[in-house]
Structure 1
Amino acid sequence: MIAKKLDRSAAQTVLPGRPPFTVADLLGFPDDGNRYELFDGCLLVSPPPTPVHQLVTMRLLCVLEDAAPPELQPLSRINLRVDKGDLLIPDVAVVPSGLVDDTEAAFSPQDVLLAVEVVSPHTRRRDRAMKPSAYADARIPFYWRVEPSEGPTIYIHELDGDGYRLVQKCGAGRVATVTGPFGASLDPAALLRPRG
């Protein structure tokens, strides 16, 4: 059996421009499957999401889509300009339906009612500390953190002063009812339940 030598240079992405990158630079980056974000002038790169992450995100998006009133639209992986120099990409967000079109490359914080992060092994610190802090500074009213490794469990946070306050912890196996930014009922276990 002959082993082929991998050409690692073929798998690398060459990013246009030079550091320090701007939001405009990021919006021109190639769509190579990676997630590119800017925070405090630092480029954050995340690999493509794992199958579990994709499944949880897709199913949560479906739950929110079914429960949302017509004037609100759940979306996945929006560009969110949290301030003039930073751009983050929540896994799921809820925005006013009237803002969903092809003219804007990035949403403003005042347009986002809910930001959701699905925690992955490679994004754990960002999703638990850095991103909620940035979302709170941007005055986004609701932040949810989904922990797939906990059954899954959903942590519901509401803006309270300068930060978020945990208002509900929804564990797998029990139907939870949430009220913000709109009413919805879900059992987090359904986010990972096998099909069939």
Structure 2
Amino acid sequence: MVTVKSELTTKPLNLAEYLNYNDGTDTRYELVNGELINMSLGTGKHGAIIKFLERTFDAEIERMGLNWTAIQSVLGIQSPRGGRWDTVRIPDVVILPLEQWRELQNKEAVITMNQPVPLLIVEVVSESTKRTDYRAKKAEYSVLEISEYWIVDPLENQVTILTLVDGWYDSLEFTGGDQIQSKTFPNLELTAEQILKDQI
């Protein structure tokens, strides 16, 4: 997603205020250090990559016979920044157990700090999110102990897969015809090129 700083609120919001916030529009916001960040629309290619990955993951989940699901851009993750918990990220794609997703159907779709974290998160890079996706979210997701984090970067034509090992992320980069290597989906037949190509 593309992020734009919001000027709508002047005081920092806590999690409860964020969950109850309504400005009368359909605009989605991340909460970063108590501040609302507008999640504006990305490019068509950005959206196509997200849709392609969601469908690919769901097909692989079904093939493996797992009770998981892929969720696209609608699930918030409460995240630590500077020892505080006034940040909520909305990843582009999230993999989590189907039962956990069902439990969120009748309440705010935010995984809070006392709930199990997602199995895998994907962020698709845009010009406005590059620094956040590669640095801030990498640090936050490692603290949350999210075992696998994909950074799909159409600007650099590469896919970076970060795998949590002893509290730190090991990083592998894939370009062109490189076969993706995922611990979450060890038999996934997918190349960086397939992820990054125009899907229309």
Give the share of equivalent positions with the same residue, in percent: 23
CA–CA distance in 1 between the matches of 2:77 and 2:199?
32
Q: Tell me how far 1:14 sits from its aligned partner.
A: 8.3
Q: Which position in structure 2 is the counterpart of 1:178?
A: 182
Select the structure that is richer in strand. Answer: 2
Amino acid at match of 1:39: V
Q: CA RMSD in A?
A: 2.5
Q: Which position in structure 2 is the counterpart of 1:97?
A: 98
Amino acid at match of 1:62: R
Consecutive unaligned residues of structure 2, counting only runs of 5 or more, are: 1-5
Q: Tell me how far 1:71 sits from its aligned partner.
A: 1.3
Q: Which position in structure 1 is the counterpart of 2:13?
A: 21
* Aligned: 1:127 with 2:120: no
- Contact 1:154 1:188 survives alignment (8 Å): yes
Alignment of 1:56-95 (within 5 A): 56-68=49-61, 69=64, 70-77=66-73, 78-83=75-80, 84-95=85-96
CA–CA distance in 2 between the matches of 1:40 and 1:14?
14
Consecutive unaligned residues of structure 1, counting only runs of 5 or more, are: 1-12
CA–CA distance in 2 between the matches of 1:191 and 1:107?
27
Q: Which position in structure 1 is the counterpart of 2:193?
A: 189
CA–CA distance in 1 between the matches of 2:166 and 2:138?
13
- Contact 1:55 1:191 survives alignment (8 Å): no
CA–CA distance in 1 between the matches of 2:59 and 2:33?
36
Extract structure 1 runs of 4+ deviating beyond 6 A: none
- Contact 2:148 2:161 survives alignment (8 Å): yes
Q: Tell me how far 1:53 sits from its aligned partner.
A: 0.9
Structure possessing the higher radius of gyration over alpha carbons: 1
Change (3 A) 1:18 1:25: farther
Q: Tell me how far 1:163 sits from its aligned partner.
A: 2.6
Aligned pairs, number: 181
CA–CA distance in 1 between the matches of 2:43 and 2:124?
11
Amino acid at match of 1:20: P
Q: Which has the higher contact order (CA 8 A, sep 6+)?
A: 2
- Contact 1:46 1:123 survives alignment (8 Å): no
CA–CA distance in 1 between the matches of 2:162 and 2:27?
27
Amino acid at match of 2:87: D
Q: Which position in structure 2 is the counterpart of 1:8?
A: none
